[in-house]
Amino acid sequence: MTENYHFEVLIIGSGTAGLSLALQLADHCKVAVISKDQLEESASLYAQGGISVVLDQCDSIESHINDTILAGAGLCDPYCVRYTVEHARENIEWLIEQGVSFTKDGLTSETYHLTQEGGHSHRRIIHSADATGREVETTLLSKVKQHANISLFPFHIGIDLITSDSQVGHQQENQCLGSYVLDIKSDTVQTFTAPITVMATGGAGKVYLYTSNPDVSTGDGIAMGWRAGCKVANMEFVQFHPTCLYHPKAKSFLISEALRGEGAKLLLADGKPFMDKFHPQAELAPRDVVARAIDHEMKRLGDDCVYLDISHKSPAFIEQHFPTIHKRCLEFGIDMTREPIPVVPAAHYTCGGLDVDMQGRTNVNGLYAIGETSHTGLHGANRMASNSILECLVFGQAAANHIKTQLPLDKQTPAIPAWDESRVKPAKEAIAISHNWDELRRFMWDYVGIVRTDGRLHKAKLRLQLLQQEIAEYYSQHHISSDLLELRNIADVAELIIDSALQRKESRGLHYTLDYPDTDNSQPAKNTLISGRS
């Protein structure tokens, strides 16, 4: 049975960004949190390394700012970077107040253990062993479940945003009024209305064949926002994490950058290190440099992987600092205390997204975006390690503060048309969806990956156009499913990545093209902006 829900704030996504926002609003208004899987299933859950914050006396706010801007290759918004870094400590303290347990220097120590990762000039990564995301996500979720003002809707996936332009007739300015949502378990479409809607659906790593992201990372919020009229920025900058476990049965398992922060070396099959040939910081170079170096060596030698070796550290050290990775590797017959780990790069983080201001507002009234779904200006052309959860927290806080200034929110909404399924029929088979899904992710990996050319991008665009025609036809004729919605979304995100990459006639940060291998320093760097499709 189709149901209609109304809340003051609708949050689509249940990662760190969405849950932190919900908790900060719940004492003030009624909030709904929608998750297309189990509530805890998000990229946040699998974050291993930690959260960057200045805590050490030898470190400084200015150093964290400078490191972030340097990694961002000329495209960071300096004001956004400073705001985020300056608000880091209070957000870490807020997490501790919620019950998050971070690793300390010793059993009796009151100081937190800090590690160092690529691009950072100091130890400033606070962490919970090598499972920081799981600790943060599960702690916040336990608090959210206890709050009477937060309603939770697992196994619900957004279909499209409801806007004044598309659903209720044009008004002076486009206004988001909520979302049509598929209840996956009951297979019914429900209408959620709210004066404030927040996209917190994470990134789009599943656009690529190989990714460190969980299956839920299909760019839903970016695609839905773009279709509703949101501007999108810098989608060409897709971060490939240099080190994911290479094993036929090891799906999407990340080997944290913290290993390299603790001295792990990248080796070729013959045991020779190679990173010193590519960057003065060797293994601690920014991620784009390390990923390209690995990709170069694999292609040069025809190897399937390279190796990451931390076996020179004591077994006790490895098991204390990296228990999750150690246990997972053992499951695949790899003892990292004795031998190197086979690794390959994989799509990891979407630096672009829905373009927002410092309060998380998009250009569509009533619609916010936070976390990996958004483009704030923090990451520029390359995200520095462990700045991602920090961005979720800081902009979750900023959005919450801005939403609170609008309370009490108007509970009246225009009449919303019911979801129309009168002209569609059940699909007889799902082979078309699975085939198109596989084809899209493969040509995105082959043609729009770590190293690009205009020729490869145009090939990808032509193939995508054919797929989008098939998807649109299938979508218009058949009853929707979560697989179909995700396919539609990754196709839209692929279009945004390809078109953004074609616009940038230079190599910068994460976007490296053989046709324009140099960075254009003849003029100030510009963001790549694409207007909303609505």
Under a CB-based contact definition with an 8 Å cutoff, are residues 352 and 509 in contact? no
Q: Is there a cis peptide before residue 315, judged by omega within 30 degrees of 0?
A: no
Q: At 506, phi and psi to the nearest 5?
A: -165, 170
Runs of H (alpha helix) within 405-453 = 431-447
Please state, in angstroms and rounded to a whole number, the distance separating the CA atoms of residues 156 and 153.
6
> How far does the chain reach from its first CA to its final CA, in angstroms?
30
Q: At 324, phi and psi to the nearest 5?
A: -65, -45
Out of 124, 287, 328, 463, the active site residue is 287
Q: What SS3 string covers 219-266?
A: CHHHHHHHHCCCCEECCCCEEEEEEEECCCCCCCCECCCHHHHCCCEE
The four Cα atoms 278, 282, 285, 288 give a dihedral, to 10 degrees, of: 40
Which residues, 6 or more positions from 310, have their beta carbon under 8 angstroms from its beta carbon?
Answer: 259, 262, 263, 264, 265, 318, 322, 336
Name the helix (H) or strand (E) containing 353.
strand 353-355
Selection from 89, 96, 84 nearest residue 143 by Cα: 96
Selection from 204, 182, 307, 234 nearest residue 499 by Cα: 234
Under a CB-based contact definition with an 8 Å cutoff, are residues 252 and 213 in contact? yes
Q: At 181, phi and psi to the nearest 5?
A: -135, 135
Which residues, 6 or more positions from 226, have their beta carbon under 8 angstroms from its beta carbon?
Answer: 232, 354, 492, 496, 530, 532, 533
What are the tokens at 10? 């609708």
> Amino acid identity, residue 152?
L
Under a CB-based contact definition with an 8 Å cutoff, are residues 144 and 19 in contact? yes
Q: In what order do the strands lie in the sheet with 306-309?
A: 238-245, 341-350, 306-309, 265-267
Under a CB-based contact definition with an 8 Å cutoff, are residues 425 and 477 in contact? yes
Displacement of CA 237 from its chain's centroid (Å):
12
Selection from 395, 408, 380, 403 nearest residue 91 by Cα: 395
Please state, in angstroms and rounded to a whole number, the distance separating the CA atoms of residues 88 and 264.
28
Selection from 16, 11, 48, 12 nearest residue 30 by Cα: 11
Q: At 188, phi and psi to the nearest 5?
A: -125, 150
Residue 423 annotated as catalytic? no
* Helix, strand, or coil (residue 35): coil
Please state, in angstroms and rounded to a whole number, the distance separating the CA atoms of residues 198 and 403.
10
Q: Known catalytic residues?
A: 287
